Amino acid sequence: MWEYTDKVKDHFFNPRNVGDLPGADAVGEVGSIACGDALRIYLKVDDQKRIVDVRFKTFGCGSAIAAASALTEMVKGKTLDEAMQITNQQIADFLGGLPPEKMHCSVMGREALEAAVANYYGLERKHLEEEDEGRIICHCFGVTEGLIRKVVRENNLNSIEEVTNYCKAGGGCQSCHMDIEEIIHEVRQERVETPAKQPAREQRKLTNVERILKIKEILEEEIRPSLQQDGGDIELVDVEGSKVLVAMRGTCASCPSSELTIRWAVEAKLREFVAADLQVVEVKS
Amino acid sequence: MSRVVYLDNNATTRVADEVAAVMLPFYTELYGNPSSMHAFGGQVARHIAQARDQVAAILGADPTEILFVSCGSESDNMAIRGVLEANPDKRHVISTRVEHPAVLSLCNHLRKRGYEVTLLGVDGEGRLDLAELRNALRPDTAVVSVMYANNETGVVFPVEEIGQIVKAHGAAFHVDAVQAVGKLPLDLSQSTIDLLSLSGHKLHAPKGVGVLYIRKGIRLVPLIIGGHQERNRRGGTENVASIVGLGRACELARAALREENDRVRRLRDKLEDGILHSVPNVRVNGNREHRLPNTTSISFEYIEGEAILLLLDQLGICASSGSACTSGSLEPSHVLRAMGVPFTASHGSIRFSLSRYNTEAEIDYVLEHLPPLIERLRNISPFWKDYQEQLAKRS
Ligand SMILES: Cc1ncc(COP(=O)(O)O)c(C=O)c1O
Ligand code: FES
C-alpha cells in the first residue's frame, strides 16, 4: 500500500471542484485510458485573465485524483500568468508530498493546466512541444522528448527510474532507456553550463506555451501600437519551434520595407524579450 | 478499523485457530532440534513426520515425496532450477505468460543465463492452447512448469492433459499449485505431475513454509546445500512450528474440502452475480467454468483500480487489483495483458478472493456498498461521461 499523506487522502476522499463546467472558456486534457491515467480540466476566465472557476475530471489512481483536486484549489483566483508559474513540485508540496513513484500525477496536473491555458489562447496541442521535441521517445506511454526534457530539467532528475516516476517514460518494455539516458545526460550538461552563461532571469527555460504567450504579449504591447500609428498592423499566424510566422496587414502589407520592419523591429524585440533564437518569417496571404 | 471484510485470500489467509493452537508448544516447551540425539529433541521429529503424513494425504502422495521448504517461491525455484542442474545437457524451459513472478521472474533470469525459455500464451479467457505446447516441446526441453490455478483470475489449467503431452516428450513436469491446494481435490498417485509446489499461507497455515512434492525417481539438485535435513535435499534446521501448522492446515482443508468449497463457491457466485446485476459496464476476467471456487476478477470499466481499493479500504473491505498503480509497475497486471483485456477494463480490475471464513452477511455488506462507490468514481472519470454521451448519440 502506498504511504499517502493525510492531505492526499483528504483530496482523494473529498475531491474539490469535480465535474464539468458548462460555458468554460478553456479545456485542457492530457493522458489516456491506455496509459492508466488522464485529466481533463475546465477553466472559466474573466476579462482580467483571472481564473474565476475551475473543474476537473480524472481517470486515475488515488494520488491522480488528489493532485487534480489540489491543482484546482491552487489555480482558482489566479491570473493565467500566475497559474502558469505553478510547478509540478508545488502541486506535490501542496499535498504534503507524494510517494516518489507517484510524482507523475503532479506532472499530469501541470501538463493539463498548460494544455488548458494553450486552449484559452486558441493554440493547438502541438505548441506544447518544442520543435523536434514532439518526437515520441517512450512508445509504451506515449511520452515525448519535450516532456522528458522538461521533467528532468525542472525536477533535477538524474536517473531513468526518476524519469519513470515523474512521467512514466521507461516504465514498460524499457526499450527507450537508452534515449532517456541520453536526454538526462544532455540536460545535465546544460545544467553545468547554464549558471555561468545565463543571467538569473533566464534561468528557468520558458515552456513552449509560456513562450508563445510571451510572444503574443510582446506583439500586442510593444509592436502593434507603433505599427498601428502608421496605419499598419501585424498578426501572429503561428509559432513553429523557433520560427515565428507573422502576416503584415494594412499599410505594412504593401510597404516595400516591411522586410526591414520585421528584421529590426519585430525580430529584435522578440529576441530581446523572449528568446535569442527566435526567427520571424513573414507569410504572404 | 472496526469492521474488516477480508476478501483477499489469494494474497494470504488467516491462520486457522486450530493451526495456531498446535503450533504454540513448539515456541515454548517443545523447542528441541529434531536432529538431536537426545529424546528431548527427538520427540520433535515425530511431529514433523506427522505433518509430512498430513501433507502427503491431501496430495495423494507418499510421505517420502514431501519436502518442506520456506515458501511457495522457494518451492518453485527448487523445482525448476533443481531439474536444470540435474540435466545440464537440456537447456530449454517451457512455462506460461500468466505465471506468478516466482516462476516468471525466474524464467527471465534463466534467459539471461543462456537458457532458452518458451512462454505459452493464453486466450481472452485465460486458457492455454495445447497445440502451442506440443509445438514448443523439444528433445532438449528439461522442464515444463505450469500453474494449476491462476492467482489473479482463478482460471484452472487442464494439468493432466498438459502432463500427458509433456510426459510423452520426456520432460519433467512441474506444477505451481499454490492456489489450488485446499481448493481443488488432488491425487498425485494418479497423476502425470512430477513436481508440485504449495505454500502454507494460502491455506490457513502460517507464512514462511511451503512444500515441494517430488515424485519418486525424479532427480533434483538441492537449492540450499547444508546439513542432512530433509534427507539431504534441503539444508537448514526445520521451521518446526510452521511445518506442524501446515500439516494441521492440510488436514483441516482435506476434511472440509468439498463442503467448504461448495459454500465458498455459492458466496463467490452471489458476490459476482450481484455485482454484474447492480453495476453497469463490468466484466469478469477469465473463463468462468474452469475456475477456482473462491476467486473472481472483475473489471469496472472507465475507472482505475487503486482508487476503487482505497474507497473499499475505507469501508474495511480488503481486495486487490490488477491495475498498474497497485502492482508497483506502471502497466496493468501481466496476466490481464496476456489475456488481451482491453485497457478500458484492465486498469479497473479488482480481485475478490474468498475463504471459508467469509459469511453471507459480509457479501451482502459488499453488495450494498460497492455500487455507489463505483458510481462515485465514474462521476469523476472523464471517460465515463464520454462513453455515456456516445451511448446517447447512438440511440
Ligand atoms: C501461484 C503462486 N505461486 C507462488 C506464490 C508464492 O508463494 P510464497 O508467497 O509462499 O513465496 C504465490 C503467492 O504469492 C502464488 O499465488
Ligand atoms: S518504449 Fe518506453 S518503456 Fe516501452
Give A42's DSSP letter: E
Of the segments A265-269, B161-165, B229-233, which one has the largest average pLDDT value? B161-165
Name beta bridge partners: B80. Answer: none
**B338 alpha carbon – ligand 1 mean position (Å):** 19
In terms of CA atoms, which chain B residue is nearest residue A167?
A: B330
pLDDT of A52-97, one tens digit each?
999 999 999 999 999 999 999 999 999 999 999 999 999 999 999 9
Q: Is residue B253 within 8 Å of B203, Cβ to Cβ?
A: yes
* Residue A88 shares a structural domain with residue A41: yes
**Chain A nearest C-alpha distance from B236 (Å):** 33
Judge if A118 and A142 occupy the same domain: no
Q: Do residue A136 and residue A116 come from a single domain?
A: no
- Distance from chain centroid for Cα B79: 16
Q: Residue A36 is nearest to which of B302, B304, B379, comparing CB atoms?
A: B304
| Any ligand 1 atom below 6 A from CB of B220 | no
Relative to the CA of B199, which ligand 1 atom is closest? 10
Lowest mean pLDDT of A277-281, B24-28, B272-276, B312-316, name the range: A277-281
**Can you tell me the ipTM of this complex?**
0.88
Say what the pLDDT of residue B211 is: 98
The predicted pLDDT at position A130 comes to 53
**For residues B212-239, average pLDDT:** 95
pTM, rounded to two decimals: 0.85
Q: Is the CB of B72 under 6 A from ligand 1?
A: yes
Q: Distance between terminal CA atoms of chain A?
A: 60
Kindly tell me if the per-residue pLDDT of B1 is higher than 50. no
Give residues with Cβ within 8 angstroms of A243, minimum separation 6: A131, A278, A279, A281
Task: Tell me which chain B residue has its CA closest to the CA of residue A16.
Answer: B380
- Contact A178 CB / ligand 2 (< 6 Å): no
Q: Position of cell 497455515?
A: B205
Ligand 2: residue whose CA is nearest its atom 2: A138
**Do A40 and A54 fall within a single domain?**
yes
Q: Within this chain, do residues A190 and A217 fall inside the same structural domain, yes or no?
A: no
- The residues of chain A scoring below 70 in pLDDT are 1, 124-133, 194-205, 285
Structural domain that includes position A138: 129-197
Tally of domains in chain A: 3
Distance B11 CA to ligand 1 centre (A): 8
> What gap in Å lies between CA B189 and CA B152, rounded to an integer?
28
Q: Report the CATH number at residue A173.
A: 1.10.10.1100
Looking up residue A221, the CATH number of its domain turns out to be: 3.30.300.130
Q: Is residue A202 part of a domain?
A: no
Strand partners, A238: A245
A88 lies in some domain: yes
Domain boundary among A139, A164, A197: A197
Closest of B94, B80, B78 to residue B166, by C-alpha? B94
Distance from CA of B321 to the nearest CA of A (A): 11
Question: Average pLDDT, whole number, for chain B?
Answer: 95
Judgement on whether residues A27 and A52 belong to the same structural domain of the protein: yes
Query: What domains does chain B contain, in order, with CATH numbers?
Result: 5-11+257-394 (3.90.1150.10), 17-253 (3.40.640.10)
Residue A230 maps to a domain: yes
Three-state SS for B4? coil
B187-225 pLDDT tens trace? 999 999 999 999 999 999 999 999 999 999 999 999 999
Nearest CA to CA, how far is B341 from chain A (Å)? Answer: 11
If asked whether residues A161 and A191 sit together in one domain, one would say: yes
Task: Select from A14, A33, A176 the residue whose CB has the most chain B CBs within 10 Å, as the one to mutate to test that interface.
Answer: A33
Atom of ligand 1 nearest to the CA of B10: 16
Residue A1 placed within a domain: no
Q: Are the beta carbons of A103 and A8 closer than 8 angstroms? A: no
Catalytic residues of A: 35, 105
Confirm whether A71 is domain-assigned.
yes
Q: How far apart are the first and last CA of chain B?
A: 46
Q: Which ligand sits nearest to residue A179's alpha carbon?
A: 2
Domain edge (last residue) among A124, A154, A174: A124
Q: DSSP alpha helices (H): ranges in chain B? A: 17-23, 39-59, 72-86, 101-112, 130-136, 159-168, 229-232, 240-278, 305-314, 324-327, 334-338, 343-346, 360-380, 382-394
User: Number of Cβ pairs closer than 8 Å across A and B?
Assistant: 75
For residues A39 and A53, membership in a common domain is answered with yes
**pLDDT, tens only, B140-155:** 999 999 999 999 999 9
Establish if B319 touches chain A: CB-CB under 8 angstroms. no
Same-domain check for residues A225 and A152:
no
Determine the pLDDT at residue A106.
95
**What pLDDT sits at residue B64?**
97
pLDDT of residue A285: 60
Distance separating alpha carbons of residues A208 and B108, to the nearest angstrom: 42
What confidence tens digit (pLDDT) does each residue in B275-284 have? Answer: 999 999 999 9
Contact B324, B330 (CB under 8 A): yes
Tell me which residue in B303, B307, B343 faces A34 most closely, judged by beta carbons: B343
pLDDT at A199: 46
d(CA B357, CA B303): 30
**What does the pLDDT average to over B301-325?**
90
Total Cβ atoms within 10 A of residue B108: 12
CATH of the domain at A84: 3.90.1010.10
